[in-house]
Amino acid sequence: MSDFFRGRRLRMKPLLRDLVRETELRPQDLIMPYFVLETAEKNVCRPISSMPGQAQLSPDELDRRVARAVDKGLKAVLLFGIPARKDPLGSEAYAERGIVQTATRLLKERHRSNLLVITDICLCEYTSHGHCGLLDREGEPHNDQTLELLARIAVSHAESGADMVAPSDMMDGRVGAVRAALDESGFVNLPLMSYAVKYASAFYGPFREAAESAPKKGNRRSYQMDPANRREALREAGADALEDADILMVKPAGPYLDIVRELRDSFDKPVAAYQVSGEYAMIKAAGANGWLDETAAALEALLGVKRAGADMIVTYFAEELLGRGLL
Ligand code: PBG
Q: What is the CATH number of the domain that holds 233?
A: 3.20.20.70
What pLDDT, on the 0 to 100 scale, is given for residue 1? 76
| Any atom of ligand 1 within 6 Å of the Cβ of 277 | yes
Distance 2 CA to ligand 1 centre (A): 53
What pLDDT, on the 0 to 100 scale, is given for residue 191? 98
Domain limits for position 319: 26-323
What pLDDT, on the 0 to 100 scale, is given for residue 67? 98
Q: Is 9 contained in some domain?
A: no
What pLDDT, on the 0 to 100 scale, is given for residue 2? 83
Q: Is 302 contained in some domain?
A: yes
Phi, psi values for residue 302, rounded to 5°: -70, -40
Strands in 199-317 per DSSP E: 247-251, 271-275, 312-315
Atom of ligand 1 nearest to the CA of 170: 16
Q: Is 245 contained in some domain?
A: yes
What pLDDT, on the 0 to 100 scale, is given for residue 100? 98
Q: Is 251 contained in some domain?
A: yes
**For residue 21, is it left (φ>0), alpha (ψ between -120 and 50) or beta?**
beta
Q: What is the pTM of this model?
A: 0.98
Told to judge if 269 belongs to the known catalytic residues of this protein, a careful annotator would answer no
Distance 17 CA to ligand 1 centre (A): 37
Distance between CA 198 and CA 255 in Å, rounded?
A: 12
| Any atom of ligand 1 within 6 Å of the Cβ of 283 | no
Q: Is 218 contained in some domain?
A: yes
What residue owns the CA closest to ligand 1's atom 11?
204
Q: Is 4 contained in some domain?
A: no
Q: Is 170 contained in some domain?
A: yes
What pLDDT, on the 0 to 100 scale, is given for residue 151? 98
Phi, psi values for residue 58, rounded to 5°: -70, 160
**Domain count of the fold of the chain:** 1
Which listed residue (86, 198, 284, 306) is catalytic? 198
Distance 263 CA to ligand 1 centre (A): 20
| Any atom of ligand 1 within 6 Å of the Cβ of 249 | no
| Any atom of ligand 1 within 6 Å of the Cβ of 182 | no
| Any atom of ligand 1 within 6 Å of the Cβ of 132 | yes
Q: Which stretches of the chain score pLDDT less than 50?
A: none
Q: Is 19 contained in some domain?
A: no
What residue owns the CA closest to ligand 1's atom 7?
204
Atom of ligand 1 nearest to the CA of 198: 9
156-188 per-position pLDDT tens digit? 999 999 999 999 999 999 999 999 999 999 999
Which listed residue (251, 269, 284, 306) is catalytic? 251
Atom of ligand 1 nearest to the CA of 206: 14
What residue owns the CA closest to ligand 1's atom 9?
204
Among 270, 251, 269, 260, which Cα is nearest to 303's? 260
| Any atom of ligand 1 within 6 Å of the Cβ of 208 | yes
What residue owns the CA closest to ligand 1's atom 6?
168
CB 284 within 8 A of CB 233: no
